[in-house]
Amino acid sequence: NTEALANKISLSISGVAGEQLVRALAEDEIDVDSGSACSAADLQPSHVLAAMGYPTTGHLRLTLHSGTTRDEIDSLKKAISRAIS
């Protein structure tokens, strides 16, 4: 698909529940989602991710914008490291 959005990042972390990671990052005031954007309102495991062959647990979806700074990305990396350790 050539019409993908360049500001979306999707990643999966083995052994980590996506919703738990979302809640842990929310404590650091970092707003992320779990699952695919196609089924964001659905609390069930994403059929879209499964159909693509991706894990449906431990999934994190991030949206960057033109004002996202390197410091914000570094803070995100540190917060994810804390949340999964």
For 26-57, what is each residue's pLDDT tens digit? 998 888 887 655 555 555 677 777 888 877 77
- Of 76 and 34, the structure prediction assigns the larger pLDDT to 76
Choose the catalytic residue: 17, 38, 40, 50.
38
pLDDT of residue 58: 77
* Residue 65 predicted with pLDDT over 90: no
**Residue range of the domain that includes 46:** 8-84
Going from the C-alpha of 77 to that of each of 21, 22, 80, 83, the distances in angstroms are 13, 13, 5, 10
pLDDT of residue 80: 92
Q: Please indicate, yes or no, if residue 2 is contained in any of the structural domains.
A: no
DSSP 3-state of 21: helix
Q: Please indicate, yes or no, if residue 19 is contained in any of the structural domains.
A: yes
Dihedral sign from CA coordinates of 20, 36, 41, 2 = positive
- What is the number of structural domains in the chain? 1
Phi, psi of 49 (to 5 degrees): -65, -40
In the residue annotation, 63 being an active-site residue is answered as: no
